[in-house]
Amino acid sequence: MRVLLIDDHALFRIGLQELLERRGIHVVGALGDCREGIEEAEKARPDVILLDMRMPDMNGVEVLNELRIRKLDMPIAMLTTSEEEKDVIDSLQNGAQGYLLKDMEPDELITALHEIVEGKTVVAKELTGILAKAVQGEWEPTPAKGTFTTLTPREREILCHLAAGQSNKVIARDLGISDGTVKLHVKSILRKLEVHSRVEAAVIAVEQNLCSR
């Protein structure tokens, strides 16, 4: 696994790099400058990017959006101290595939990284209540950019699997189809809903009560 770290706190960044490398994870870069981090992401194309939420020049969501504008579609996860509802929801709605806290145990972080690279959505267990608010409609929803009416029955079915945080492999196994077929359906779903990531589509699906719980 190849990981890129973007965090302005030098001691944390260096310590995390050493921890990951001791666990056999290759850190392609550990940068404190957001712009340099974005350039490195474009050059190195890591398997996953870990972003701090609070940085002086750009916040994590702004970096995330810039990476997506540049058509970089690798998984991106926030690794932060912020437990604010707005930060969690904004991150997921803008395409983050994970929202992790800096005080998590090392083993939990390694497991989360592997799950994120596999296509799952991972949110720190302390923050599941915030996601519950979004599911229950207590958070003001973001209107869907596209329309669900253009989705085929199979696409709606796969979208609900995405909303449950399932990876392509799990969806393929559950539906008895190939990974490649799932990928094609996911691409079609993103195009029709006019969103940039599977997480963004999943959040909208939950907000619009498309899937039964």
Residue-range domain boundaries for the chain = 2-135, 148-207
pLDDT of the residue at 132: 60
3-state secondary structure the chain: CEEEEECCCHHHHHHHHHHHHHCCCEEEEEECCHHHHHHHHHHHCCCEEEECCCCCCCCHHHHHHHHHHCCCCCCEEEEECCCCHHHHHHHHHCCCCEEEECCCCHHHHHHHHHHHHCCCCEECHHHHHHHHHHHHCCCCCCCCCCCHHHCCHHHHHHHHHHHCCCCHHHHHHHHCCCHHHHHHHHHHHHHHHCCCCHHHHHHHHHHCCCCCC
- Write down the pLDDT at residue 197: 81
Burial class, 46, CB count within 10 angstroms (exposed 0-12 / middle 13-18 / buried 19+): buried
pLDDT at 143: 47
- Asked if residue 30 has pLDDT above 90, the reply is yes
Residue bearing the bigger pLDDT, 31 or 206: 31
Same fold: 2-135 with 148-207: no
Those residues whose C-beta lies under 8 Å from the C-beta of residue 50, and which sit 6 or more positions away, are 3, 4, 5, 6, 7, 16, 77, 78, 79, 100, 113
Q: Which two tokens stand for residue 21?
A: 């490398």
pLDDT of res. 153: 84
pLDDT in tens, 10-27: 999 999 999 999 999 999
Average pLDDT over residues 29-44: 95
Reply yes or no on whether the pLDDT at 192 is more than 70: yes
Mean pLDDT of the chain: 86
pLDDT for residue 166: 87
| Superfamily of domain covering 2-135 | Response regulator (3.40.50.2300)
In this predicted model, what pLDDT tens digit does every residue of 124-134 receive, in sequence order? Answer: 888 876 666 55
Q: Which pLDDT score, from 0 to 100, does residue 93 have?
A: 78
- Condensed to tens digits (0 to 9), the pLDDT of residues 89-115 reads 888 878 888 999 999 999 999 999 999
**Local confidence band at 42 (pLDDT 50, 70, 90 cut-offs):** very high
**Tell me, what's the pLDDT at 9?**
92
Query: Residue 45: left (phi > 0), alpha (psi -120 to 50), or beta?
Result: left
Residue 141 pLDDT exceeds 50: no
Q: 116 pLDDT band (50/70/90 cuts)?
A: very high
Residue scoring higher pLDDT (44 or 84): 44
Question: What is the CATH code of the structural domain delimited by 148-207?
Answer: 1.10.10.10
The reported pLDDT for the residue numbered 89 is 81
